[in-house]
Every structure is written in structure tokens, then in C-alpha cells.
């Protein structure tokens, strides 16, 4: 889902804190995908579900989030 995000891309954020509103942000930085859990055992790597995560830095309303 986030694999095609690049620096400068537009992202839409649904803020549901008080009253729902849609905010528009621009991506400043995307990290490389990395494993969600730091455990790695090469003997059991076949058939396991390795979840990966990326960190996004987004500029919304002149604020970095």
C-alpha cells in the first residue's frame, strides 16, 4: 500500500479526533521497508510471514508529522 509513495507525493489524512476532517499533506521522507520485528532466523525463513514497515514524514499545515 505504501510502496509507491515518494518524496513530494500528496497524501490525504482523515482526522477523526473531534470533528472529522480531511487534511492534505506532502511527503518529506520515506524510509526503506524493514522487518516489523527484529527477529531473523535463516533456518525458518521459508514460509514465514515477514511483515514490513516504512516510516513516513509528512508535512501538514506547515508542520512535520
- Cβ distance 30 to 56 under 8 Å? yes
- Confidence at residue 41, expressed as pLDDT on a 0 to 100 scale: 65
Q: Is the pTM of this model over 0.95?
A: no
> 9-30, pLDDT tens digit by residue?
999 999 898 899 999 999 999 9
Tell me if 64 is assigned to some domain.
yes
The pLDDT of 51-61, averaged and rounded, is: 89
Q: Domain range for residue 54?
A: 1-38+49-65
- Confidence at residue 47, expressed as pLDDT on a 0 to 100 scale: 56
Domain count, the chain: 1
Tell me if 17 is assigned to some domain.
yes
Q: Is the pLDDT of residue 53 over 90?
A: no
Tell me if 4 is assigned to some domain.
yes
Tell me if 44 is assigned to some domain.
no
Amino acid at each position: 500500500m505504501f510502496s509507491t509513495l515518494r518524496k513530494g507525493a500528496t497524501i490525504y489524512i482523515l482526522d477523526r479526533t473531534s470533528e472529522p476532517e480531511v487534511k492534505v499533506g506532502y511527503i518529506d521522507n520515506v524510509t526503506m521497508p524493514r522487518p516489523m520485528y527484529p527477529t531473523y532466523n535463516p533456518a525458518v525463513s521459508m514460509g514465514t510471514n515477514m511483515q514490513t514497515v516504512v516510516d513516513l514524514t509528512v508535512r501538514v499545515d506547515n508542520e512535520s508529522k
